[in-house]
Structure 1
Amino acid sequence: MHSTYNYWLVALSLVVATFASYTALDLSNHISVLTRPRLRHIWLAGGAAAMGIGIWSMHFIGMLAFSLPTPLGYDFAITCYSLAIAILFSYSVLYIVTQTKLTLLRLLTGGTLMGFGISGTHYIGMVAMQMRPAIHYDPVLFVASIVIAIAAANAALWIAYTLRGADQTRLIAKRIGAAFLMGIAITGMHYTAMAAAHFSHDSVSGAANGIDSQWLAVTIILLTFTILIVTLILSRFDARTNFLVGSVSQLNRQIVHLATFDTLTDLPNRWTLMERMERAIHTSKRHQNMFAILFMDLDGFKIINDSLGHSAGDEILKAFAQRLLHCVRSDDTVARLGGDEFVVLLENLASPDDAAEMADSVLSRMRQGLWADSQPLQVMPSIGISLFPQDGDTAEVLLKNADAAMYEAKRGGRSTYRFFEASMNEAATRTLQIQHALHEALKAGYFSLYFQPKFRGDNGELTGAEALLRLHHPELGFLSPLEFIPIAERSGQIVPIGYWVVRETCRQIRRWKENDLPAIKVSINLSPRQLEQSDLVATMLDIVRFEQVPCEQIMFEITETVAMQDAPKTTNMIREFQENSFEISIDDFGTGYSSLAYLQRFRAKQLKIDRFFTNGLDDGHEGSIIVSAIIKLAHTLEMDVVAEGVETDSQFAKLKGMMCDEMQGFLLGKPVTAEELSAFLHQQTSQNLIKFKARKEST
């Protein structure tokens, strides 16, 4: 029997197949990112219904496009069966393609199932026509239609999976192109199957019911498009909602991470450490065991950070953090409190020896290999250890005691470890008291200046003085510089204190001038922390000019050890001081390691021999040889020599014989107040006046 097609409906069947394919691709991408099982199953069911209806509708519209000379109809129940098959197989396919990993076996299985589902939908739909006599099929075309369906299904699955992880650039265009190819494959299967069907010339449809196929086609097309459009809109809306929810969740996770972890090293921060310590305290109390806190501070880190820059310092901190993680056990906590301070929480310890072994392991590992940028930077930690429960029963106390033990390790030679002892707490308390006293000392006027005179070596005349800082606190009493200067240096308080010393020295020089006393040169010590200030020279110059004191009357003393820590930087700073008429003295010469080349570049005015070598003059011939060599070296470099710590007549005599330019020490003059030095200057002025008058009368 001769058959014909309504080509408008044929074209519409292709459009429906393409639209259904696009919906399937969009749903597979949306369902694959869902994490909640309940929501995932709901979308699988809804998506399968929409996709199944789309495939079924394409076949049914294709059937309605087909006509024979005899009226055609379709059994309602069998047609519903074909729709159910389309939906069932669509669910299976969506389930497979939305899995995390699509293996080759899973691809072939899913593609084969989908191919049989498409074929089954078509051929059961053909049965719904209830043709008499029955339809005969060309075996070759029949098999070809099934092969086309399976091949198209496998291609669809592969395209859906690849587009799922594709770049978002032009994704919609790619998905439309893929859907069009899939639509052609599906319609191609349908019309290949239709070509395989042969109808007898006397065939009639037992399901013919007189319904207008054109109106039925329009109704099904509109219903199908409505279902697919609604499905796509809901999918896009739900995807957008999930994206926003996911973005908010990700942002919350990032905020929590930033609040609980260090941004540089990605180690737990102080807040997280305190929380884990509280948990460790609770666990240790319940199980009656101990844990340890290892508090670490990197020795010499600040010098490297300042000399090489903060980026190099950051690399060192990250390298140290990684090494530290390799030193500890997997269940231990490594945290960074800030700066160069790190803490390790060691839980479930059998004895204090376990903590000691860990500290030894850390120190040993840090001595090995290279650090950042292939530079062998020798930055070692000093470690303080506190134990729970004997050293404290709260996180704050344990951290404070470990910190105190760490400072004791620094005082004990650095790059070592110390267990906390009760006496350290007293020292830490004393340190805090002094630090507090330093805060209020400047405002309250607790600081004062003493001046130790310096004398010429040949005639014993007063040539100048060294300004010495003193602190007398109403509660703590008299504090030795050896006690409060290191604390001020560590805390950074030495910087404003140092400026106060310069300002007060200038004011005293101005008072001497106002009282017609002779102008003397005053030496002022500069601390390592002061030398780190980029505006040091400019600030000193502002102070001197404001107080109206000549720069030539101020000499700054820099210790040899500090000067050689960064010799090029020291050279530049000395040159800047000298360009502004300040003079420089190298203090404590002989206690460090000086490069003669840099010593020559410094071109300092004075070289001060450390009291250790001055005391050695009384110990034998070797001491005299060393001091004599230092004096000759200084004179060769055109520098004056000052010997400090002169306390015996024999030392004075030997230094005078060695042509030492200046001397200071208890033998010649102890540190005195400004008033006492004023009286001495007045006395020396009177004596010089008497000598002058005597010489004038004799002539």
Structure 2
Amino acid sequence: MQSSYNSWLVAISFVVATLASYTALDLTGRIFVLASPRLRLVWRMGGAAALGIGIWSMHFVAMLAFSLPVPLGYDFADTTYSLALAIGVSYLALRLTTQERLTPARLAAGGTLMGFGIAGMHYSGMAALHMSPGIRYQPAWFAASLAIAIGASTAALWMARALSNDDAQHVRRKRFGAALVMAIAITGMHYAAMAAAEFPLGSVCGSANGVNAAWLATSVILFTFAILIVTLLLSRFDARTSFLVGAVSKLNGQIVRLATLDTLTGLPNRATLTERIDGAILAARRQRSLFAILFMDLDGFKTINDSLGHSAGDQVLSAFAQRLLICVRAGDTVARLGGDEFVVLSENLASRNEAAALAEGVLDRMRHDTWADSQPLQVMPSIGIALFPEDGETVDTLLKHADAAMYEAKRAGRSTYRFFEPSMNEAATRTLKIQNALRDALAERHFTLHFQPKFHGTGDSLAGAEALIRLHHPELGTLAPLEFIPIAERSGQIVQIGYWVLREACRQIRGWVAQGLPPIKVAINLSPRQLLQTDLVPTMLAIVKAEGVQCDQIMFEITETVAMHDAPRTIEMLREFQASGFEIAIDDFGTGYSSLAYLQRFRVKQLKIDRFFTNGLDAHGPEGSAIVSAIIALAHSLEMDVVAEGVETETQLHMLKAMSCDEMQGFLLGKPLTADDFGDLLRGRAMTADAC
């Protein structure tokens, strides 16, 4: 018999196939990311029902599009059986595509089973017609329909797995394109199977009085579209919910990370370290064991941070953190408290010797190892060690005592370690008091200047003075510069103190001139922290001009070690000072590592021989004399004056005179004097000169 098709229903069957294919791909991506086995099972079963109805509907709508010259109908039982077969095949498809691995063998086996299942669904649906005589099938088209079913199923399984990642780029476009390909394959299988069917003349449909075809077509189409669209919406809603849950979980993770870890280095922060030390205290009490707190501060880090910038400082901190993790034991906790302060918590130690060995190992590896991070800036820590329980039984006490021991390591020469001792508490307490005293010293006028006279090489005529600062505190008494200057240097207060020293020296110079005393040149020391200020020279020049003093009455002294730390930059700053009319002296000469080339390029006015070499004139005899004589000869060859400081004996004085030393200062010649006493000295010298 001659057959025909309803073009509208054919088009609808293709749309249903496309929607069913897209639903299958979307469900695969949804099921694949579910972690709970129970949820995966529920989604597979629900998805199989929706997908099975979609695939069955496509085939059944296409069959409803088919018509013969005789009335057609469909047996309800056989139609239901074909639907059940479609749902079962869909469950198999979802189960295969959401396995952890989809091997080629599993893909081929799954594609074959699915192909036979889909073909079985189609041919059982055809059997629901109950044609008499029965439908005959052409072998070639029948085989072609089976081949298309197996090929389409295999391709569907592969594409579903390949597009299972919801986070992939343009995944929805790719799924839609794949759905169109799958729809063409599925409809192609159906119409190939229909082409295989032959209906003999005179055939009668035994189910013609069954389900009404028009009503069935409308119901199936509407029901299928509803099921597939609802399934897609549920999948998208669940995906959105999962995304939000994941985003909240990720945000919570970031919040926890911010609360527990240092953002720059990734190490535990202070809060986390406190918790771990609390835990270590409880464990050590139960086990009666020992643990150590190693408190570390990076030597010279402030100079790096101030001179090269915070980004360079951050790189140094990150590199040091990674190196420190390598230096300690696997079970140790390495934390960053902030700034350049790091702490190592080392538990289950047998003795204090193990803590010492750990500190020595850190220092040795930091000093000598070649690191993979290629960080060119080598930094060394000073380490303070506190032990539980002998140095404290609380977190705060242990950290405070380890910190005190660290400062003792810095005072001992830096890049070393010290164990906490009770006497260190006194030093730490005094340091804190000095820090507080410095904070108010300028406003409360606790600073004063003393002036130590400098004499010409003959030893009797005044050449100038060196300004020396003193701190007079109501509680702490009079403090020498060696006690408070390092603290002011670390805190940065030295910058403003340095400006005060210059301003006060200028005020005293102006006062002496007002008294009719002869003009005097005053030397002022510059600290390393001051030299890092980019506006140092303009600020100094502004102060001198504001005080009405000539620039040539001020000489700035820079220690040799500081001058050579960054020699090219020192040269630029010296040129700027000299261009403004100031004179420069290199202080403590002989204690650093001067290059003769740089020394020549500095073109300073004076070299000041360190008191160590002056003392050597008595202590080391000919060797000491040879060194001082060589320094004086070198300076004179470079057209520099030489000042010997620390002259305390007659022997030193006579030897320096014999060596043609240009200027001298020391307790033998004159101790530091108050401004009034130095004015009296100037007055006495002036009167003596007038009498002569």
- The one-letter code matched in structure 2 to 1:672 is L
Q: 1:512 and 2:512 equivalent?
A: yes
Unaligned runs of 5+ in 2: none
The correspondence of residues 34-113 of structure 1 with structure 2, limited to 5 A, is 34-113=34-113
In structure 2, the CA distance between the partners of 1:357 and 1:92, relative to structure 1 (3 Å rule), is: farther
> Does the CA contact (< 8 Å) of 2:510 and 2:549 recur in 1?
yes
The whole-number CA distance in structure 2 between the counterparts of 1:102 and 1:62 is 32
| Superposition deviation, residue 155 in structure 1 | 0.7
In structure 2, the CA distance between the partners of 1:625 and 1:400, relative to structure 1 (3 Å rule), is: same
In structure 2, the CA distance between the partners of 1:355 and 1:672, relative to structure 1 (3 Å rule), is: same
> Does the CA contact (< 8 Å) of 1:295 and 1:402 recur in 2?
yes
Query: What is aligned with 2:148?
Result: 148
- The one-letter code matched in structure 1 to 2:405 is A
In structure 2, the CA distance between the partners of 1:623 and 1:272, relative to structure 1 (3 Å rule), is: same
The whole-number CA distance in structure 2 between the counterparts of 1:224 and 1:459 is 115
> Does the CA contact (< 8 Å) of 1:315 and 1:372 recur in 2?
no
Q: 1:355 and 2:367 equivalent?
A: no
- The one-letter code matched in structure 2 to 1:76 is F
Query: What is aligned with 1:189?
Result: 189
Range 272-281 or range 639-648, more displaced: 272-281
In structure 2, the CA distance between the partners of 1:606 and 1:249, relative to structure 1 (3 Å rule), is: same
The correspondence of residues 98-137 of structure 1 with structure 2, limited to 5 A, is 98-137=98-137
- The one-letter code matched in structure 2 to 1:27 is L
SS at match of 1:393: coil
> Does the CA contact (< 8 Å) of 2:10 and 2:62 recur in 1?
yes
- The one-letter code matched in structure 2 to 1:686 is M
Q: 1:274 and 2:274 equivalent?
A: yes
| Superposition deviation, residue 664 in structure 1 | 0.8
The whole-number CA distance in structure 2 between the counterparts of 1:98 and 1:372 is 43
| Superposition deviation, residue 228 in structure 1 | 1.7
In structure 2, the CA distance between the partners of 1:604 and 1:133, relative to structure 1 (3 Å rule), is: same
> Does the CA contact (< 8 Å) of 2:74 and 2:211 recur in 1?
no
- The one-letter code matched in structure 2 to 1:323 is R
Query: What is aligned with 2:486?
Result: 486
| Superposition deviation, residue 336 in structure 1 | 2.0
The whole-number CA distance in structure 2 between the counterparts of 1:590 and 1:682 is 35
Q: Percent identity?
A: 69
Range 572-581 or range 278-287, more displaced: 278-287
Range 271-280 or range 167-176, more displaced: 167-176
Q: After superposition, give the CA deviation of every residue in 1:48-85 in whole Å (9 maximum; x if it has no partner).
A: 22211110100111221222333322222332222222
The whole-number CA distance in structure 1 between the counterparts of 2:22 and 2:56 is 15
Q: 1:604 and 2:581 equivalent?
A: no
Query: What is aligned with 1:651?
Result: 652
- The one-letter code matched in structure 2 to 1:85 is L
Range 540-549 or range 252-261, more displaced: 252-261
The whole-number CA distance in structure 1 between the counterparts of 2:37 and 2:288 is 43
In structure 2, the CA distance between the partners of 1:372 and 1:517, relative to structure 1 (3 Å rule), is: farther
> Does the CA contact (< 8 Å) of 2:76 and 2:211 recur in 1?
no
The correspondence of residues 397-476 of structure 1 with structure 2, limited to 5 A, is 397-458=397-458, 460-476=460-476
Query: What is aligned with 1:287?
Result: 287
Q: After superposition, give the CA deviation of every residue in 1:334-388 in whole Å (9 maximum; x if it has no partner).
A: 2222333222222233333332332233233223443477466543222222222
Range 471-480 or range 209-218, more displaced: 209-218
In structure 2, the CA distance between the partners of 1:353 and 1:86, relative to structure 1 (3 Å rule), is: farther
Range 132-141 or range 251-260, more displaced: 132-141
Query: What is aligned with 2:676?
Result: 675
The whole-number CA distance in structure 2 between the counterparts of 1:678 and 1:30 is 92
Query: What is aligned with 2:25?
Result: 25
Q: 1:613 and 2:613 equivalent?
A: yes
Range 211-220 or range 602-611, more displaced: 211-220
> Does the CA contact (< 8 Å) of 1:319 and 1:371 recur in 2?
no
The whole-number CA distance in structure 2 between the counterparts of 1:622 and 1:36 is 86
Query: What is aligned with 1:696?
Result: none
| Superposition deviation, residue 558 in structure 1 | 0.7
| Superposition deviation, residue 148 in structure 1 | 2.0
Q: After superposition, give the CA deviation of every residue in 1:569-611 in whole Å (9 maximum; x if it has no partner).
A: 1111111111111111111111111111111111111111111
> Does the CA contact (< 8 Å) of 2:319 and 2:373 recur in 1?
no
> Does the CA contact (< 8 Å) of 1:328 and 1:358 recur in 2?
yes
> Does the CA contact (< 8 Å) of 1:18 and 1:183 recur in 2?
yes
The whole-number CA distance in structure 2 between the counterparts of 1:94 and 1:330 is 46
The whole-number CA distance in structure 1 between the counterparts of 2:242 and 2:311 is 40
Query: What is aligned with 2:638?
Result: 637
In structure 2, the CA distance between the partners of 1:161 and 1:67, relative to structure 1 (3 Å rule), is: same
In structure 2, the CA distance between the partners of 1:238 and 1:681, relative to structure 1 (3 Å rule), is: same
SS at match of 2:163: helix
Query: What is aligned with 1:695?
Result: none
The whole-number CA distance in structure 2 between the counterparts of 1:574 and 1:373 is 36
- The one-letter code matched in structure 2 to 1:661 is D
- The one-letter code matched in structure 2 to 1:519 is P
| Superposition deviation, residue 526 in structure 1 | 1.0
Query: What is aligned with 1:528?
Result: 528
Q: After superposition, give the CA deviation of every residue in 1:271-323 in whole Å (9 maximum; x if it has no partner).
A: 22222222322333333323222222233334444555544443333332222
> Does the CA contact (< 8 Å) of 2:611 and 2:647 recur in 1?
yes
In structure 2, the CA distance between the partners of 1:206 and 1:391, relative to structure 1 (3 Å rule), is: farther
In structure 2, the CA distance between the partners of 1:624 and 1:428, relative to structure 1 (3 Å rule), is: same
SS at match of 2:265: coil
- The one-letter code matched in structure 2 to 1:563 is A
| Superposition deviation, residue 455 in structure 1 | 1.1
| Superposition deviation, residue 546 in structure 1 | 2.0
The whole-number CA distance in structure 1 between the counterparts of 2:360 and 2:110 is 60
In structure 2, the CA distance between the partners of 1:203 and 1:280, relative to structure 1 (3 Å rule), is: farther
TM-score with structure 1 setting the length? 0.93
Query: What is aligned with 1:694?
Result: none
Query: What is aligned with 1:543?
Result: 543
> Does the CA contact (< 8 Å) of 1:319 and 1:372 recur in 2?
no
- The one-letter code matched in structure 2 to 1:158 is W
| Superposition deviation, residue 206 in structure 1 | 2.9
Range 560-569 or range 300-309, more displaced: 300-309
TM-score with structure 2 setting the length? 0.94
> Does the CA contact (< 8 Å) of 2:316 and 2:375 recur in 1?
no
Unaligned runs of 5+ in 1: 692-699
Q: 1:259 and 2:256 equivalent?
A: no
SS at match of 1:188: helix
| Superposition deviation, residue 330 in structure 1 | 3.3
The whole-number CA distance in structure 1 between the counterparts of 2:630 and 2:174 is 87
How many equivalent residue pairs? 691
SS at match of 2:117: helix
The whole-number CA distance in structure 2 between the counterparts of 1:329 and 1:192 is 72
The whole-number CA distance in structure 2 between the counterparts of 1:108 and 1:389 is 69
